Amino acid sequence: MDELEIDVVAEVELDDPVLVEGLPGVGHVGTLAVEHLLEELEGESTLVRRLYSQEFPPQVSVEDGVSELTCAEMYAIDVPEGRDLLLLTGDHQAQSNAGHYTLTDAFLDIAEEFGVSEVYALGGVPTGELIEEYAVVGAVSDESMLETLEEAGVEFREDEPAGGIVGVSGLLLGLGDRRGFEAACLMGETSGYLVDPKSARSVLEVLEAVLGFDLDYESLDERADEMEEVIGKIQEMEQQQAMDVPTDDDLRYIG
């Protein structure tokens, strides 16, 4: 197998499409968001590309006993109301710096083929603690995008995220800008400890406002309820452990 192989699965015509990336990252926010888009817009989606790379982990996924070599996938979605979408998803990112550049260039090549001029990378920004109100933090490749995103509720904070944006999400802004794309990264706040459906919803609500489509969130809310139960159990365990910590009186020697 070559270092990078791209399978052309289908060719479709899209109307003023936008590339939306949701690869694994903090809280799996981007992955959950794109998965939900595919679930809600399944009737309008078409798998158009599969990308195989030696930069992905050496493994296969298995479903119902059938294996599939690890890859990234791109889906075209004809949105009845709003701009059409080109969705990028997958189970892994590249394992090296060079691999991130190679794959991101390939993603942008395909975006160009479909007439994309605007890119949205989706992800999470860790807070290190459980949160109740989910803000969306943004970064853009060009100042011209700031006003529209601010009106949709995105916060642009000085020096955040700390350390910048790494991986494909960051390179879609950096390389995308050099290639003439307008690019933005939407990062939902998340504890960073667990898969976070609530953060994914906060990011999708921004996309709804900006791109003009409507989603139902019932299935994503159900996943959020399941995660709330997990969080509740973790908190109960932490409280019990705190109660079980021995005091000085407990540690006194009695003989």
- C-beta separation of 18 from 72 below 8 A: no
pLDDT of residue 250: 57
The reported pTM is: 0.89
Choosing among 3.40.50.410, 1.20.1050.10, 3.40.50.10900, 1.10.760.10, the CATH entry for 4-218 is 3.40.50.10900
Domain spans of the chain, in order of start: 4-218
pLDDT digits (tens, 9 = 90+) for 192-217: 888 999 999 999 999 999 998 899 99
CB atoms near residue 106 (< 10 Å): 17
Residue 120 has pLDDT above 50, yes or no: yes
pLDDT of residue 254: 45
pLDDT digits (tens, 9 = 90+) for 238-247: 677 777 666 5
Paired tokens of 151: 């009106």
pLDDT digits (tens, 9 = 90+) for 217-237: 999 999 988 888 877 777 677
pLDDT of residue 249: 59
Residue linked to tokens 């995660």: 227
With a CB cutoff of 8 Å and minimum separation 6, the contacts of 47 are: 9, 10, 73, 74, 75
pLDDT digits (tens, 9 = 90+) for 75-106: 999 987 779 999 999 999 999 999 999 999 99
- C-beta separation of 151 from 78 below 8 A: no
